[in-house]
A and B are shown apart, each in its own frame.
Chain A
Amino acid sequence: MGTLHLIRKNLGRKKLRTTFTLLSIAIAFVLFTLLSGINQAFNAGLELAGADRLITMHRMSFIQPIPISYHRRIEAMDGVEAVGHFTWFGAYFQNPRQQFSLQPTELSGLTDLYPEYQIPEDQWQRLMNNQTGLLVGQGLLDAYGWELGQQVPLNSTIFPKSDGSYAWPFQIEAVFTQESTANEIQAFMHWDYFNEARAFGQDQVGWIVTRIADPDQSAEIAARIDERFANSPTETKTSSEQGWTASFAAQFGNIGLIVQSILACVFFTLLLIAGNTMAQAIRERTGELAVMKTIGFPDSRIVAMVLGESVLLAVVGGLAGIGLGVLFVQGAAASLTQFLPGLAVTGSAVATGLVLAVLLGLLTGLVPAWQAGRLRVVEAMGRR
């Protein structure tokens, strides 16, 4: 028999109470894991954003268009490697509530901007030769169950064609893959097809992406771009891709803060519940602890045993909760690929959860352990 055996036996003496405490801890950690997954989904784009890319948009908002002529002017600047322009199409397939990102762009320059996109050469050639050809991310293709070569009628919530119809026919000619599924939930169409067929807004684009040679110069080049268009009818705001992605995510609210606030409330409540349970469990064993001290167990050993008990309880509950949470997130990620493509539990979230469980155990055990350590044998035995 070792100390761990004694701790386990003590936890098992009131099975119902231990089970309920474990359940409450596990549920809190399920919530922690789910919210970590959601937070990760909102931050996935941020992590993948290139350090060497700048986004230029209308100074007011990215809904306001900017002239396509800015593209060539930026391209001529020093330190610029490649430039491309994009526009929000507002695409949906069959269900207007399920919009996804479809961007008209000059496809020939796309991989200069995003070298991380992998596209098979034969598909690329077919895409270049078909004006209505569509380049689709593997994730989006899987989400809708589309196939390469398939005709897909897509609708725009913003742009009608010159004939007044919002339906745009396409043929899937190429599929791209990328290291993260999150960035595969999008598609690209030929700029010329879009610009010639749309009813309004010709030669206006949504935003311009610039790849620069030296990421250390991003702030300086961004300032130069905005300076170049200052005092024009269409002033610009240029930021790094990371900054742009972060501000885009912020439109949904500060997800990180919301997640942290919810978790803080949950864990504070849990701290009180589990702390009270531990305190009660130790109070009930006052006599036994006094006997242990009588036998010769030093105060420090008693404190360590009580803390060990609360940490074991929290870690077992935490592990169960994190495990369940990971299963839930994996299940949800499969069915929510379109809406939350980056939904996943990262290794660091699991590690944070484990640290949190240990901290929870230490904090809930702190007061009972201190009381057990201070227990005076003569008084405790007299109380019995």
Chain B
Amino acid sequence: MNEKTLDHIVELKGVTKTYHRGRERIEVLKQLDLEIETGEFAALMGPSGSGKTTLLNLIGGLDHPSAGEIHVSGQRIERLGSRALAKWRSNHIGFIFQFYNLMPVLTAQRNVELPLLLKKMSSKERRDRAMTALEIVGLTDRAKHLPRELSGGQEQRVAIARAIVSDPDLLLADEPTGDLDRDTAGDILELLQTLNTRHGKTILMVTHDPAAADRAGRIVHMDKGRLLEEAA
């Protein structure tokens, strides 16, 4: 049975991830179970090397688990091939990175349009949707600016607009405020909260920052590849 009910947008059962470094076997995730409800804003915290980013990669379909089941947006994804996973990601997941990862040669608007190149739509429709996404993040006046002409906070807003332009079910954010000062980080977190509360986006955010995690509705702690007790 591949389809799951959408009460839980993310459901992990007994997920293990093992790497090999030479003869050494490193178990990054150990028999991990996790459920995230549709519409939740969850923060994933833990020390470096605890497996947070690996978990995010698995949920985002960027990596395959060594064992276990991963259901996201009603799809069991751990068995999908790379082409099917790419298509699935483009339809269901929006990624937000710590260092924004914008294309330096493209304007803010073109950067936001990038995921729409994978959709069958006219250039006008792409442009309109990109402008709508930029409007949501409050950057329509910077649409024609290149990334180097924007501040860090503005770059991250463009990255968020790029993540939401395809209207994905789930936003995965990996340390989205890690490269920003406190005030700007606050603005970005506020934006994420707005996307969660007003636009209904489910968000899973990896962070080291307790203040950032406090903005989430749920905090999940990890250590040594296992989930610890949760804080509401």
Contact = CB atoms under 8 A, between A and B. Distances in A.
A298 B57 contact: no
B110 interface: yes
**Most-contacted residue by chain B among A12, A287, A299, A377 (CB, 10 A):** A377
B63 interface: yes
Contact of A298 (B86, B110, B113): B86
A9 interface: yes
B105 interface: yes
Contacts of B60: 294
**Interface extent on A, as a size class?**
20 to 34
Contact of B117 (A3, A287, A299): A3
**Interface extent on B, as a size class?**
20 to 34
B193 to A, nearest CB: 24
Interface stretch (B44-52, B70-78, B93-101, B184-192): B93-101
18 contacts: A1-B106, A6-B117, A9-B103, A12-B105, A13-B105, A287-B101, A288-B101, A291-B95, A291-B103, A294-B89, A295-B90, A296-B90, A296-B115, A297-B90, A297-B118, A298-B86, A299-B82, A377-B63
Interface of A: 1-3, 5-6, 9-10, 12-13, 287-288, 291-301, 377-378, 381, 384
A377 B60 CA distance: 11
A327 B150 CA distance: 47
A1 B90 CA distance: 18
Given A294-B95, A296-B90, 14 more contacts: A1-B117, A9-B106, A12-B105, A288-B101, A292-B114, A295-B89, A295-B114, A295-B115, A297-B86, A299-B82, A299-B83, A299-B86, A300-B83, A381-B97
A335 to B, nearest CB: 46
Interface in B89-147: 89-91, 95, 97, 99, 101, 103-106, 110, 113-115, 117-118, 123, 126
Nearest to B174: A381
**Could you tell me the dominant secondary structure of chain B's interface residues?**
helix
B32 to A, nearest CB: 17
B25 interface: no
Nearest to B109: A1
B81 to A, nearest CB: 10
Contacts of A293: 86
**Most-contacted residue by chain B among A13, A300, A381 (CB, 10 A):** A381
B87 interface: yes
B103 A296 contact: no
B60 to A, nearest CB: 7
B62 interface: yes
Contacts of A12: 105
A189 to B, nearest CB: 70
Closest 3 CB pairs of A and B: A296-B90, A9-B105, A298-B86
Contacts of B88: 296
Given A294-B89, A297-B86, A10 B123 contact: no
**Most-contacted residue by chain B among A9, A287, A295, A377 (CB, 10 A):** A295
Given A296-B87, A296-B89, A10 B118 contact: no
B105 A10 contact: yes
B54 to A, nearest CB: 8
Nearest to B60: A294
Contacts of A6: 103, 106, 117
A321 B118 CA distance: 35
A378 B90 contact: no
B96 to A, nearest CB: 11
Contacts of B118: 295-297, 301
A378 B82 CA distance: 13
Contacts of A378: 57, 62-63
A79 to B, nearest CB: 69
Given A12-B105, A13-B105, A296 B86 contact: yes
A9 B114 CA distance: 13
Nearest to B83: A298
A70 to B, nearest CB: 76
A75 B62 CA distance: 86
A372 to B, nearest CB: 14
A299 B126 CA distance: 22
Nearest to A5: B110
Contacts of A298: 82-83, 86-87
Nearest to B58: A378
A377 B89 CA distance: 13
Contact of B101 (A1, A291, A301): A291
A247 B121 CA distance: 63
Nearest to A384: B99
A113 B91 CA distance: 77
A351 to B, nearest CB: 33
B78 to A, nearest CB: 14
Nearest to B162: A295
Contacts of B106: 1, 6, 9
A291 B87 CA distance: 14
Contacts of B123: 1-2
A287 B103 CA distance: 10
Contacts of A10: 105
A15 to B, nearest CB: 11
A212 to B, nearest CB: 66
